[in-house]
Structures are given as structure tokens and as C-alpha cells.
Copies of this chain bind each other. A is one copy, B any other.
């Protein structure tokens, strides 16, 4: 195992593997274009739970349980849990930690939480003798709506650019034990804020941050876009991905067929009425832990760059007229021959 800094913001990692992944999603997510590619699909948004907040906790707890089971692990095998969610004071991750009782490092990067966690986890496993790490991110449509926007009961009309916070959880176990999928490198993003102010158009606000991190990653690693079978941003959606492609054109790095977005592909825009597409920490977490790792495992891809994107605003900053700072963290995963 080793970690080596490359360039300004990227770390090359060796000897860090994905031991297992788990994805648990709501009915809308489970019946979209990725149907059949998640570990578990709920029949509803969690109406059996006393509150949607409790439903979100259960979503995460199930993802943890499945990740452990698929990896043949018990909680005692996990040295550190690194996770976060969208709710104030990261309550979903923190409350679920009551039951697992493992050392916890809570993180927050809005919808970029998952790759921040994978990045920190990969560096700790690769260099800092933290044997096995559980990384997670989760979101729930109903809890996010009432915290950031309006209670669902209001039945308000959504703008065409608005995102649909996914009811979804993803969990990944990183360890030093050889496995088919390896973490190759990590780029920690910086905050980019070009002045976007509309919380109903986060895709456009986040596109510059995604662009910044992708370019930083390529530069630091001496790579080109064609070195990747797929580059997946987190939740730019239809509008944000269009903007990202426009940035690429304008800056002389035109993206090709390798560029995708988890949120854009999570729902069927026409059939599912989700407008710009999926968002929330659970969006990229579940899409990576389900559909994307399946593609890698099946040998369809050999190298993936996952670039989860986060809009770091709060209702308070929005009410105070502030702009929306954005961030993106990238993690490069490859399928190769496992080496012990």
C-alpha cells in the first residue's frame, strides 16, 4: 500500500480495494433506468417509519448491513466509519452510529459527500494503517424537501431546473485485502463559486466546480479524457451536464461519450417527472455502489472517474441573498487483476 501526492490536489493510491458495495433506494429510483441494478428497492418512501427522518436512517442502516454481508464482514472488522448526509447536523449518519458503535468521522460536502468520504478513506487505508473503512452517503426525498424547500404536503410546483433529491443510500467498504476493484487516485476539490444564486438550479451552479476538479485531476495525473471509459459527475443533471460540456468546448477540452451524470441517468425524465434529475448525497453513492460498480465488475469498463458534486448552501445563506459555493471531489477506480 502507498499514497503519493501528485501535483496540487491529487493523490495516487495503491493497495486500496473495494471490498464490497451496497445500494438501497426508494421506489422511484428503483424503477428508473437503473432498474434491477440496486441491491434493494423499497416499496415506498418509508411510510412504515414514524418519520421520514427515521426512514432515512433505516435506508442507511440497510446499506451498511448489506455492505457487511456482501463483504463477509462484521462491524468489528470496520476500523472507522466515514459518512455524511444532507440533513442539518448530519443527523442520519450520526443517529445510525448509535447502533453500530464503531469509531465515526462525520463529514459534510452536500451531494459531494460520497467522494469526499471515499477520498479520505482511500488515503487512510492506503497510508495511515486504518485497515478497513466503511464509507457512506445517504439522502431521502421527503426529509430534504422539508428541510431545504417546502413540505411535500404543500404540493408546490417545481421549476424546470430543479433537482429531485434521491431516496437512496450507498455504502462501500475499503480495505487492504486484494479485490477486483482498486482505488487508483483521489482529487480533493476546492470551492468554486461563479455567482449562481438559485437553489432550484444547482446543476448550473455546480458545473464549474465539476469542471475544475476534473481538469485538476487530469493535470495532476498526466491523463487525458480518453484514459477513462467513463467519467460520472454526481448530480449536475440535464442542465448542469449541458453546461459542463459547454465549458469543455470553450476551454478546448471537449468531452466525448465518456461523460455522464449519475443524477441525469437515475430517473427517466419524461416518465418520472423529475425535471433536472436526481441529486442528494445518496444519488452518486447509490449509482456508484450499484450500476457503476456492476459495469466495472462485468469488464465493460476498466477505469472510471467518479466526480460527486456538492452545492454548499443552506436555507439561511439563501435567505440572506448569498451565492452558492460548490465543490467536487473525484475518485478514480479501476478494474484490474487483484494483487495480494
Contact = CB atoms under 8 A, between A and B. Distances in A.
A95 interface: yes
A249 B165 CA distance: 49
Interface string A274-304: 0000000000000000000000000000000
A282 to B, nearest CB: 16
A124 B82 CA distance: 14
Each complex incorporates copies of this chain amounting to: 2
Interface in A2-27: 3-5, 8-9, 11
A267 to B, nearest CB: 24
A89 B104 contact: no
Nearest to A126: B128
A8 B107 CA distance: 21
A313 B128 CA distance: 30
Contacts of A98: 191, 193, 325
Interface in A169-214: 187-191, 193
Contact of A102 (B119, B190, B312): B190
A116 interface: yes
A94 interface: yes
Interface string A95-116: 1011001111111111000001
Contact of A94 (B95, B103, B312, B315): B312
Contacts of A124: 120, 123-124, 127-128
A135 interface: no
Interface stretch (A240-248, A254-262, A316-324, A331-339): A316-324
B316 A91 contact: yes
A120 B124 CA distance: 8
Given A51-B320, A191-B101, A312 B127 contact: no
A131 interface: yes
A87 B314 contact: yes
A265 interface: no
A129 interface: yes
B51 A190 contact: no
B128 A312 contact: no
A113 to B, nearest CB: 8
Nearest to A2: B129
Q: Which of A53, A84, A131, A314 has the most CB of B within 10 A?
A: A314
A21 B189 CA distance: 24
A273 interface: no
Contact of A3 (B94, B127, B322): B127
Contacts of A106: 107-109, 116, 312
29 contacts: A3-B127, A5-B130, A5-B131, A9-B79, A11-B128, A53-B317, A89-B314, A89-B317, A91-B316, A94-B312, A95-B312, A97-B190, A97-B191, A97-B327, A98-B191, A98-B193, A101-B190, A102-B190, A103-B190, A104-B109, A104-B190, A104-B191, A105-B109, A106-B108, A106-B312, A107-B108, A108-B108, A123-B124, A124-B124
Q: Which 3 interchain pairs have the tightest Cβ spacing?
A: A127-B128, A103-B188, A127-B127
